[in-house]
Amino acid sequence: MSTAEPSQALGPPASSVAGPRHQGADGPPAGSSVGQAGNSAAADSGPPGERTGQRASPEPSGPEPSPGALLSVRGVSKHFGPVKAVDNVSLDFYPQEVIGLIGDNGAGKSTLLSVLTGYHRADEGSFFYKGKPVSITSPRESRNKLRIEMIYQQLQLARDLTVWENMFLGEELRIFGFVSDRRSMRRRAGEVLERLNSKIRPGDILGNLSGGEQQIVAIGRAILFDRDIILMDEPTAAISAAKVEDFLQLVRDLRALGKTVILVSHRLEDILAVADAVAVLVLGKLHCVVPNQDLTVSDLVHLMFGGQAPATASGGNLAQARWQLRHGGTGGGA
């Protein structure tokens, strides 16, 4: 598999995520808080120490992708009848970054992920992959073109098949294009499981595995097919409490492999344990993005209900703070 992507993470993003378009006059003044993220498309892209004067602002981002972002989402909306499940969301995802996506029930988290996977089609907005405009019109396009893999809220694996069969489900290797290459698939599945430090064997029947082990199989698929972006919707829901720490380590391992992980969870302590930054949705809108620096669970709860983000040591430079956290900063994701 290619591990070329991590090298992209070496330069800091010049700008970051969109601020809340819904934020009214009661929002903070420009640069007063790192949480109300802005985007300065004109910002330079040098290392953080060399960049001065770049402050987060409550202005929404422009239509352009942010330099260095693996995936930029701009002005994306998805309606279900009268319900605006996702409302004008702009957000950047960088290589080798874990983003916690949080919000109250019905805030639009799963819908945003389903738009990224191509399961639902956005009504409005645009996407940029490695700076180039792309469309997401089908799950196949999302998987193959944007290299996105989704780990679903309810694991969608075949319980009566083996681990390796599940890992290659729908994407079988073939010899001469038609004979199923079972031996290679089994071997490659074994290599991936080893890489994930798992004792699961490729020939194990999936239904005999625990929830956490099944999660590893699902994540193994993402590694196997070298996806860049791994979306996880309430992944710890199927895992016993004792195994949650193992899972969180797996998320850190994915980041170390250069992957971008978008983690949706109501378990805010898990978010704080692994995320580099936290994006907060409120009623379908992006309320803010905060670097995971000195945050507490009660800070996150406050944000989920529309509260203002705490100021952080980054002094308002969100892009710089996210970069630092990904490269040896002091946040929970380190």
Binding-site ranges for ligand ATP (CB under 6 A): 80, 83, 85, 103, 105-111
Question: What CA–CA distance (Å, rounded) separates 189 from 181?
Answer: 12
Chosen from ligand ATP, Mg ion, none, partner binding at 322 (C-beta under 5 to 8 Å by type) = none
Residue with tokens 């580099």: 276
Nearer to ligand ATP, 34 or 230 (CB): 230
> What H or E segment, with its residue span, contains residue 184?
helix 182-195
Nearer to ligand ATP, 80 or 305 (CB): 80
Q: At what angle do helices 244-256 and 211-224 cross, to 10 degrees?
A: 10
- Smallest distance from ligand ATP to CB 85, Å: 3
For 63, other C-beta atoms within 10 Å of its C-beta total 14
Nearer to ligand ATP, 107 or 295 (CB): 107
Residue with tokens 């309810």: 154
Which of the stretches 71-79, 103-111, 114-122, 292-300 binds Mg ion when contact is defined by CB under 5 A? Answer: 103-111
Is 162 near Mg ion (CB under 5 A)? no
How are beta strands 98-102 and 260-264 bridged, if at all? parallel
For 182, other C-beta atoms within 10 Å of its C-beta total 14
Nearer to ligand ATP, 102 or 272 (CB): 102
Q: Which strands make up the sheet holding 124-129, listed edge to edge?
A: 83-93, 71-80, 124-129, 132-134
- Smallest distance from ligand ATP to CB 314, Å: 27
Chosen from ligand ATP, Mg ion, none, partner binding at 66 (C-beta under 5 to 8 Å by type) = none
**What's the token pair of residue 136?**
């997401």
Is 110 near Mg ion (CB under 5 A)? yes
Nearer to Mg ion, 109 or 322 (CB): 109
Residue with tokens 């929830």: 211
Question: By CB neighbour count within 10 A (0-12 exposed, 13-18 middle, 19+ buried), where does 170 fall?
Answer: exposed
Helix (H/G/I), strand (E/B), else coil: 128: strand
**What's the token pair of residue 232?**
């996880």
- Smallest distance from ligand ATP to CB 262, Å: 12
Residue 290's φ and ψ, nearest 5 degrees, are: -125, 135
- Smallest distance from ligand ATP to CB 77, Å: 12
Chosen from Mg ion, ligand ATP, none, partner binding at 28 (C-beta under 5 to 8 Å by type) = none
Pseudo-torsion of CA 275, 281, 282, 288, nearest 10°?
70
- Smallest distance from ligand ATP to CB 152, Å: 12
Nearer to Mg ion, 110 or 320 (CB): 110
Nearer to Mg ion, 36 or 110 (CB): 110
> What is the 3 state secondary structure string of 45-78?
CCCHHHCCCCCCCCCCCCCCCCCCCCEEEEEEEE
Binding residues for Mg ion, total number by CB under 5 A: 1
- Smallest distance from ligand ATP to CB 108, Å: 4
Amino acid identity at 281: L
**What's the token pair of residue 231?**
């979306």
Strand extents, DSSP E, 234-298: 260-264, 277-282, 285-291
- Smallest distance from ligand ATP to CB 330, Å: 29
- Smallest distance from ligand ATP to CB 143, Å: 20
Contact map string, positions 121 to 160, toward Mg ion, x by CB under 5 A = ----------------------------------------
Chosen from Mg ion, ligand ATP, none, partner binding at 111 (C-beta under 5 to 8 Å by type) = ligand ATP
- Chain residues in the site for Mg ion (CB under 5 A): 110
